[in-house]
A and B are shown apart, each in its own frame.
Chain A
Amino acid sequence: GNSVTQMEGPVTLSEEAFLTINCTYTATGYPSLFWYVQYPGEGLQLLLKATKADDKGSNKGFEATYRKETTSFHLEKGSVQVSDSAVYFCASLYSDKLIFGTGTRLQVFP
């Protein structure tokens, strides 16, 4: 079946460090891909999305490129801030269902 796999956390970084959170998907077709972010005590917010191969989603300095050949949608940011500390979820939409990865906690220290 369709699934999403994320790297396990927590990911601990110092402020201004480079961030990569890996995400790969399995699907029988070509799903739309998303990154959601969950801040403490809140629900999930859409961070960025890509709907077809080679699309790049970007928002708030975060980027992710839909790579069909490696079935990946890795999240990157060039310089993280303390305020980026949150849980990040990769998700795949296929056949009317949005499937989430298990989430990766990011902790950024000053």
Chain B
Amino acid sequence: KAGVTQTPRYLIKTRGQQVTLSCSPISGHRSVSWYQQTPGQGLQFLFEYFSETQRNKGNFPGRFSGRQFSNSRSEMNVSTLELGDSALYLCASSLRRQGATGNSPLHFGNGTRLTVT
């Protein structure tokens, strides 16, 4: 079974631009969560999508948005990029929603490393 696939692996953008990151979950998984990983802040929860609806959201500004398609694939968009948005963005999928992950662990992709210059 293929794992979680994130594309692209690396991105370089300049301040003010926007970016779209893509995540394909494990086949059959309906929940997709996004995390931002930085050396200073660690792993910060962005949002979770389940059945094409955002179910949970972290404390990020509105410049960060996402969506999920009917095949469970998800995209994350960051508009008006800032230098501080440079990070590794991780996507994770699970069979059920995070609230039920006691028996449905998260499976992470290898991430997209975004550099904003």
B66 on the interface (CB 8 Å rule)? Answer: no
C-alpha spacing A35/B56, complex, angstroms? 22
Enumerate chain A interface residues (CB-CB to B < 8 A).
32, 34, 36, 41-46, 49, 51, 89, 93, 95-103
Contacts A96-B97, A96-B98, A96-B99 hold; do A101 and B108 have CB atoms under 8 A apart? no
Contact between chains at B43 and A100 (CB < 8 Å) = yes
Tell me, yes or no, whether B33 is within 8 Å of chain A by CB.
yes
B32 beta carbon closer than 8 Å to chain A:
no
Residue of B nearest to A99 (CB): B45
Residue in contact with B45 in the complex, picked from A43, A49, A51, A97, CB distance below 8 Å: A97
Instruction: Please report the C-alpha to C-alpha distance between residue A44 and residue B103 in the assembled complex, in whole angstroms.
Output: 17
Additional 9 contacts, C-beta under 8 A, given A97-B45, A98-B98: A34-B105, A43-B90, A43-B111, A46-B107, A51-B102, A93-B98, A98-B33, A98-B45, A100-B43
A46 with B106, Cβ < 8 A, contacts A32-B101, A96-B56, A96-B98 known: yes
Q: Determine how close the nearest CB of chain B comes to the CB of A58; give it in whole angstroms.
A: 15
Question: With an 8 A cutoff between CB atoms, is B110 at the interface?
Answer: yes
Mark B81-104 against chain A: 1 for CB-CB distance below 8 A, else 0.
000000000101000011101110
Output the least CB separation between B18 and chain A (Å): 24
User: Complex formed: what's the CA distance from A99 to B99 in Å?
Assistant: 12
Chain A CB within 10 A, most for which of B43, B92, B98, B99: B43
Q: Do A43 and B99 contact each other (CB < 8 Å), given the known contacts A97-B45, A102-B42, A103-B43?
A: no
19 contacts between A and B (CB under 8 A): A42-B110, A44-B90, A46-B106, A49-B105, A93-B102, A95-B99, A96-B99, A97-B58, A98-B33, A98-B45, A98-B106, A99-B45, A100-B35, A100-B42, A100-B43, A101-B42, A102-B41, A103-B42, A103-B43
